[in-house]
Structure 1
């Protein structure tokens, strides 16, 4: 599996079973057929699986990712990432000491960090994380604890300050507004419900890649 993150971040699916209207494994398989290039397992919130069920689903989703040669990342939970031997971990601003998390995760693993402004992005770059998520780009109902929506202008500001950092926009992105995010300088877009709740995840992903 290559580590050209700038290309891999092109279409980044974030999903757990609670986000799906179809079977989550089938949803992921179809989404990858449609062009998803990166996957984050985010099994949290109302209706999410817990305990061994969460682990077993993670293993099945990881198998799909590896069969299709795309990275399998875990959201927030370092212990789950280690238990699943995930390809990496994505954390938020309040998820702990970034350097300590990097050490425990391991140098060969991918570490992503959520940022909301230039200051947080610059700090993330000092931590030497592998990529940053920037958002929210637009209003979203998937996450309730979101920051103020400033939109793609934040991507533009960060890109001017950090021209080389791998960067993906997230939050309320759909097929109609994704180009504003990439035109602002993002290497890709991260989406949840626009693909996971689509009647055809494969078709929805293809529409993004147009």
Structure 2
């Protein structure tokens, strides 16, 4: 890491299972999540925030490293980053959920949607996540995203647990739990090695490693 000619040696690691970059800057440690990229620019943001951005530029394409100027030209001339544009999300059943996004984010509560370019009936829509046992679940009401969850599947000796997580990277209190596609019974359940949850009335009431 170089700043004003002073160099320090830190560490970084790409966490594929979470789609995050971990950086040890010696004075602190941060997780960065990809917000936007093309051949010339990559924009990362600190996980869990909206404003802390890290911008990396390809000097071969943007010699003066004037990223705002480049993006402004990119928007005007190409139109890919217009503030209102549809993102086509493939669903696991072969349909396409057309999401009318108002920014780079295409997964946000309140955005309007179409299904195969027609009106989207109320219901749940499932898209494949970045790992096999993870789905992105859209709850659609009145042609808008009402809720958004990450559905994780855990196969255990009791059967198959499904957890509707509000947080993409870990389950939390209040997340809905199904066992073999019905609400999980009250009590303590082991999901994986050193991963246990307590369920009350079909939702996680606590969790522990033992």
TM-score calculated relative to the size of structure 1: 0.23
Structure having the higher helix fraction is: 1
Larger radius of gyration: 2
| Structure holding more strand per residue | 2
TM-score, structure 2 as length reference: 0.23
